[in-house]
Structure 1
Amino acid sequence: MIELTKSAGTHVRNFLDNRGHGEGIRVGVRTAGCSGLQYVLEFVDDIDPNDEHYESEGVSIFIDPKSKVYLQGLKMDYVKEGLNEGFKFTNPNQKGECGCGESFTV
């Protein structure tokens, strides 16, 4: 369902270790931006039994039922480009994105 690259998995595991607690991360989408949808990441401290659960690169990933349809086949990478760093999302469902890359359409 969702695949993390080695770099993304290392980044998330380090963040969880430094945080000292948490079950994993929740990946979802919300309505926002110019194109309509935006990715949302948050730490999971309490598991929601309605969430789908996946494992990738040693990280527990949780997806809420409403976001699942938009995230089928998502690949998450963590990249550093010059002074910028962050998650890069490759989504086979994505049909377009806004000019700034902050939101997408399916």
Structure 2
Amino acid sequence: MAQTSFQDLINGDVPVLIDFHATWCGPCHAYSPILKQLKEDLGDKMRLVKIDVDRNPDITQKLGVQAMPTTMIFHRGELKFRAAGVQSPQTLKDELAKLN
């Protein structure tokens, strides 16, 4: 199976929430259940992609990710939201609602 490029991943009609995280990052571990619940609540209205910064240094560096966790929401290839640190479920729902 061909590996999906990052551009292919973010170009779809469904908003893509990307969680840049690290295994050693305490706040990232706290953020994970929030994102899981968000995905359960929104289902097919969004895609959730988790990117380990230590395993994916190229894309991490290209996007200038320096703090963990960093959340980005892409829609149709455009960055629509970006924030460092743990975000509230309501903040994420509000940002995603703007795109649907």
TM-score, L = length of structure 1: 0.29
TM-score, L = length of structure 2: 0.30
Q: Which has the higher contact order (CA 8 A, sep 6+)?
A: 2
Query: More strand by proportion, 1 or 2?
Result: 1
Query: More helix by proportion, 1 or 2?
Result: 2
Larger Rg over CA atoms: 1
